Structure 1
Amino acid sequence: MEDARQSMIALRGLRGGRVTVSTPPGLSIEPLARIIGNFRRSYPEVTVSMLPTEDGALAVTAVADAACEVGLTDRTVSADLRAHSIGSNEIVVVLPPGSTPGEKGPISLDQLAGVPFISSAIGTRARGLLDEAKERGIPLHTAVETPHREAVIPLILEGVGAAFLPWTVSQEARSRGAVVLPLLPRVTYDLLIVHRDQPLTAAAQAFVATALKVGSTRGPGSRDSSRPGQQPDETIHG
Structure 2
Amino acid sequence: MRNATIRQLQIFSVAANHLSFARAAERLHLTHAAISLQIKQLEEVCGTRLFERIGKRVFLTEAGEILLDHTRQILQSLKEADEALLALKGLKGGRIAIAVASTAEYFAPGLLAAFRETHSEVRIRLLIDNRDTVIRLLAGNEVDLAIMGRPPAELDAIAVAFAPHPLVIVASTGHALSSLARVSVEDLANETLIVREMGSGTRSAMEEFFHEHSIKPRIGMEMGSNEAIKQAVIAGLGISFISQHTLGLELSAGRLSILKVEGTPVIRRWHIVRHRNKHLSPVLAAFWSFVVESAPAYLSRLV
**Aligned-partner Cα distance in 1 for 2:207–2:296:** 32
The structure 1 residue matched to 2:218, chosen from 124, 128, 140, is 140
**Aligned-partner Cα distance in 2 for 1:108–1:8:** 59
AA paired with 1:174? L
- 1:36 and 2:116 are equivalent in the alignment: no
Deviation string, structure 1 residues 191-233 (Cα, Å, up to 9, x no partner) = 111123353122211111110121343699xxxxxxxxxxxxx
Residue in 1 aligned with 2:267? 188
- 1:74 and 2:152 are equivalent in the alignment: no
Q: Contact 1:109–1:138 at 8 Å: present in 2 too?
A: no
Structure with the larger helix share: 2
- 1:109 and 2:185 are equivalent in the alignment: yes
- 1:179 and 2:254 are equivalent in the alignment: no
**Aligned-partner Cα distance in 2 for 1:44–1:218:** 19
Residue in 1 aligned with 2:32? none
Secondary structure at the residue paired with 1:43?
coil
The structure 1 residue matched to 2:163, chosen from 70, 87, 91, is 87
AA paired with 2:148? T
How many matched pairs?
216
AA paired with 1:166? S
Q: Contact 2:151–2:273 at 8 Å: present in 1 too?
A: no
Deviation string, structure 1 residues 148-187 (Cα, Å, up to 9, x no partner) = 3321112222222211111111233212321113543232
The structure 2 residue matched to 1:119, chosen from 195, 208, 225, is 195
**Aligned-partner Cα distance in 1 for 2:114–2:298:** 14
**Aligned-partner Cα distance in 1 for 2:248–2:136:** 29
Q: Which runs of 5+ in 1 are unaligned?
A: 221-238
**Aligned-partner Cα distance in 2 for 1:13–1:29:** 30
Residue in 2 aligned with 1:202? 282
Q: Which runs of 5+ in 2 are unaligned?
A: 1-77
Deviation string, structure 1 residues 60-105 (Cα, Å, up to 9, x no partner) = 4432331211111211345842222110112101101222315335
- What TM-score do the two structures reach when normalised by structure 2? 0.62
CA 1:3–1:51: 2 relative to 1, 3 Å: farther
The structure 1 residue matched to 2:97, chosen from 11, 20, 23, is 20
Runs in 1 of length 4+ with deviation above 6 angstroms? none
- What TM-score do the two structures reach when normalised by structure 1? 0.78
The structure 1 residue matched to 2:138, chosen from 55, 63, 67, is 63
**Aligned-partner Cα distance in 1 for 2:151–2:145:** 15
Q: 1 or 2 for the larger relative contact order (CA 8 Å, sep ≥6)? A: 1
**Aligned-partner Cα distance in 1 for 2:152–2:223:** 28
Question: Identity, % of aligned pairs?
Answer: 19
Q: Contact 2:111–2:298 at 8 Å: present in 1 too?
A: no
**Aligned-partner Cα distance in 1 for 2:217–2:103:** 27
CA 1:211–1:161: 2 relative to 1, 3 Å: same
Larger Rg: 2
**Aligned-partner Cα distance in 2 for 1:80–1:141:** 34
Q: Contact 1:95–1:162 at 8 Å: present in 2 too?
A: yes
Secondary structure at the residue paired with 1:200?
coil
TM-fit CA distance, 1:20: 0.4
The structure 2 residue matched to 1:2, chosen from 79, 94, 98, is 79
